[in-house]
């Protein structure tokens, strides 16, 4: 990760009070392991990334996630839902939450997105809809739309998000196929976020 110019390991100065109070502190109180992945800009559009295995990943804001569109909320196993609920109760309040899905073998960008919840015709577990801090989320969106700097970072942010998800995937490669990975970020300076891995599982 240190060799990737798009994703840097944050030093003590970059892990601000906001990161501690809104991500890492709540994670400890909820007894959830939450590795810090690094710093990178916020992506502003859906990203496709082809892993070294040849399979594609689809990465997007959890509110625009394909399973949310299909099932009325991002579908998660019950243990993941419980951990996310515990995090919220402990004060977890990121500015943005992203989900990266590993796609089926023959998928290529431009294909219709397949059902990403195999074996569950009517799944009942969802990610909480209140994961993102609503006041900071609105402020960040307003700033994004009005900031030339933010618009200029769009392409870099997409590449950085690839680094985030690939870093999370590499960290859990011993588990085999990862589908999906959840990452969350808090803005530490204008347009720059510290990102953490929140959870991952395999369907």
Residue 169 has pLDDT above 60, yes or no: no
Q: Is 6 part of any domain?
A: no
Evaluate whether residue 5 is within a structural domain: no
pLDDT surpasses 90 at 54: no
In-domain check, residue 9: no
What is the average per-residue pLDDT within 164-182?
59
Q: How confident is the model at residue 200 (pLDDT cuts 50, 70, 90)?
A: confident
pLDDT average, residue stretch 163-168: 60
Is 66 a member of any domain? yes
Is pLDDT above 90 for 117? Answer: no
Strands in the chain per DSSP E: 36-40, 47-50, 56-61, 96-102, 181-189, 192-200
Query: Does residue 173 have a pLDDT over 50?
Result: no
The better pLDDT of the pair 39, 169 is held by 39
Lowest mean pLDDT of 96-110, 111-125, 169-183, name the range: 169-183
The answer to whether residue 109 scores a pLDDT higher than 70 is: yes
Question: Going by DSSP bridges, is the β-strand pair 36-40/47-50 parallel, antiparallel, or unpaired?
Answer: unpaired
Highest-scoring range by mean pLDDT, 82-96, 106-120, 121-135, 163-177: 82-96
**How many other CB atoms are found less than 10 A from the CB of residue 142?**
10
pLDDT above 70: residue 121: no
DSSP designation for 7: S
Q: Does residue 116 lie within any of the structural domains?
A: no
Q: Is the model's pLDDT at 96 over the cut of 80? A: yes
Q: What total of structural domains would you count in the chain? A: 1
Torsion (CA) 72, 89, 190, 96 in degrees, nearest 10: -20
Q: What percent of the chain has pLDDT above 90?
A: 13
User: Taking 90 as the threshold, does the pLDDT of residue 44 lie above it?
Assistant: no
Tell me, what's the pLDDT at 90?
93
- Residue 130: which domain range? 17-110+124-200
More confident residue, 42 or 90: 90
As a whole number of angstroms, the distance between CA 189 and CA 203 comes to 36
Is 64 a member of any domain? Answer: yes
pLDDT at residue 31, rounded to an integer: 96
Answer yes or no: is 40 within a domain.
yes
pLDDT band (50, 70, 90) for residue 30 = very high
Is position 8 within any domain? no
Residues in the chain: 203
Of the candidates 57, 173, 166, 162, the one whose C-alpha atom is nearest the C-alpha of residue 116 is 57
């Amino acid at each position: 990760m240190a060799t990737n110019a798009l994703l840097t390991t944050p030093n003590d100065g970059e892990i601000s009070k906001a990161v501690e109070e809104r991500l890492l502190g709540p994670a400890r109180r909820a007894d959830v392991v939450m590795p810090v992945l690094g710093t990178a800009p916020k992506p502003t559009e859906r990203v496709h990334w082809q892993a070294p295995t040849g399979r594609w990943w689809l990465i997007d804001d959890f509110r625009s996630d394909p399973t949310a569109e299909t099932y009325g909320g991002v579908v998660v196993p019950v243990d993941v839902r419980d951990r996310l609920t515990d995090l919220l109760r402990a004060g977890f309040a990121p500015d943005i939450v992203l989900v990266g899905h590993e796609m089926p073998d023959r998928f290529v960008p431009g294909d219709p997105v397949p059902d990403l919840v195999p074996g569950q015709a009517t799944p009942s577990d969802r990610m909480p809809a209140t994961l993102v801090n609503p006041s900071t989320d609105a402020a960040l969106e307003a700033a994004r739309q009005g900031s030339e700097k933010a618009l200029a970072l769009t392409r870099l942010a997409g590449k950085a998000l690839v680094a985030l998800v690939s870093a999370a995937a590499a960290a859990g490669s011993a588990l085999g196929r990862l589908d999906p990975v959840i990452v969350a970020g808090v803005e530490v300076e204008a347009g720059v976020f510290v990102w953490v891995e929140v959870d991952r599982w395999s369907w």
